[in-house]
Structure 1
Amino acid sequence: MPAQTPARGPRGTRGSTAPDHAVSLARQLHRSARDAATADRHPAAIRQMRRGLALLDTPGIDPQERLEVRTRLRNTLAFCLAETGKVDDGLTQLAGVGQELAQLRDEALRAHLSTLVNLNRAALLCRVGRMDEGIAQLDREIELSERRLVALGDPVTGGPAANGSGAGADREALDLLALALSNRGNAHGEVHRHDKAVRDLHRAVELADAHDLPLRAAIAKHALGNAVQRA
């Protein structure tokens, strides 16, 4: 991480306000925490995210920017808490986030962050054995994601946009939809609904292959192979 000096803004230029600097540092801490989590250094990641959340209490921060960064920090913090065995604490971090996000004016950003939070919540519910709740959360998120994508074209075949623009569907949204399908397939497998597991995982593979998402496709194919053996 770059040196942190209160007199300088996100790019080290003088004249930036304290609120701008606080947001910049909070974003940097989130990036650093994600790197730490990827390296399985979850306690370090948790400390960094708590520092980032504290910075967002700085007076004068734009409420919309605070809401965005706070949501990202809380979502990743919930994951890291779960990775250290504190799944209930992780779920507590996510409580009320959906209602808060309703205040975010940027519709695309609101949809993206809502998807991240809801998929995370579903995963944590499944981890503590609340499988039906987790699957129900995934049901809702998959339906919402498909509705958002339909105007941009068929999310599986990559067909032309319904509005005639020919623009492709949002790649990140497609990746999250494939993730949601994979997660729901795995959850169905855990409760021995093997036919549903195979169906969801097959859809995830189709989606990932159609939109050149190789990592997502590889993970889904591996899970699909296991599900087929159990079916």
Structure 2
Amino acid sequence: MTATQRPVTLITGAAGGIGHALARVLAPQHDLILSGRDDGRLATLQAEVGGAVLPLDLTRPETFEAAVAGLGRVTNVVHNAGVGDLGAVADVGHAIWTHILAVNTVAPAELTRVLLPRVRDERGRVVFVNSGAGRTANPGWGAYAASKFALRALADALRAEEAPHGVRVGTVYPGRTATPMQSHVRSQEGGEYRPQEYLDPVSVARAIAFMLAAPDDADLTELMIRPGPRP
């Protein structure tokens, strides 16, 4: 990437939550490639922030190479999309395990692989949006936490492998964030969804933007973000 070029940043899970907020935060300085599950919300977001929409089925990573074939430059990749279903190991069958691992771990690995030549050319960044569950596995969170522990391992290995190519790799670990996914999780936990008690998605988005904008002499490898005290 030359000094006069804007970075091109691909965001998965851009249709809502953190990804949606991130697109708005980055739009003034980045050209965006938006991917997500809700075509209507993506179209509305694209009309607001510009950029391109990239259709991806995260349950079918084998389709990614063809899906990205027509892309031009890609400077940064932010792996934000994810799914979560809770349940005890005794109750969660292989279909749920397979789905969670495919979307949360295998899809980021494969999308990274097929985009790495472009990111290397730009000496860009790969950012993984992980979770507190990527550091501690609580009862009922086995499958989700396993996918996030694996995502952490993927980031750590990639960071060491890609350092010689000038690619920087970071992981963000948000605490509970006021998103539709958090509402779903709270319903599974049998608790009330209180968005005012959680992180604002914009706060997490700004932290990701800070990681992407770090100067070349500063390698931000991990950021942990938790809801702060309320007045």
Normalising by the residue count of structure 2, what TM-score does the alignment of the two structures yield?
Answer: 0.29
Structure with the larger helix share: 1
- Please report the TM-score for the alignment, with normalisation by the length of structure 1: 0.29
Give the structure with the larger strand fraction: 2
Larger Rg: 1
